[in-house]
Amino acid sequence: MKIDVKATNDLFAKAVKDAVKSAQTQAQSRAIRASNELRNSALRVLRGQRTGRVYRKPFTSKATYRASAPGEPPAVRSGALRISWAARAIGKSDGGIVASIHTDVKYAPILQEGTKDGRIAARPFEEPIIEGAKDKVMAIFNEPYLNK
């Protein structure tokens, strides 16, 4: 009986290559799904009524809105912060994938942290967003690996 070692090695190498590609595809898919869960959580956290003062909306004569109190997530005035969140999954050079969301709204860091001079108190929203999505994100990454 003769065993063809080269053919066996080639089959094994192809099987490993296919398994790695499948794992990368699944990781990327899960990262995108996790990012979407974070975005959904941001939309949930940044909605609803707050308990702060009532202000007149700028550039209107009678329209008002209720602001957030210090320590609450920001209230929705224009909706720009709420709708600005974009999901992204970024591949790293070491083969890892980072699932995240980001906003390009310039005042988001001020709302999150407040100002150094204390004129604007923090309206933290990052931690509630993460906490709101954590269980679903963990479930996504704990799904069994499917060898396709």
Which pLDDT tens digit goes with each residue over 47-89? Answer: 999 999 999 988 988 999 899 999 999 999 889 999 999 999 9
- Model confidence at 1: pLDDT above 70: no
In a domain, 146, yes or no: no
Distance CA 141, CA 98 (A): 12
In a domain, 42, yes or no: yes
Q: Comparing 116 with 8, which gets the higher pLDDT?
A: 116
Q: What is the total count of domains within the chain?
A: 1
In a domain, 61, yes or no: yes
pTM of the model as a whole: 0.84
In a domain, 131, yes or no: yes
In a domain, 148, yes or no: no
What is the extent of the structural domain holding 70? Answer: 5-141
In a domain, 91, yes or no: yes
Asked whether the beta carbons of 112 and 128 are under 8 A apart, the reply is: no
Q: Comparing 122 with 77, which gets the higher pLDDT?
A: 122
In a domain, 97, yes or no: yes
In a domain, 55, yes or no: yes
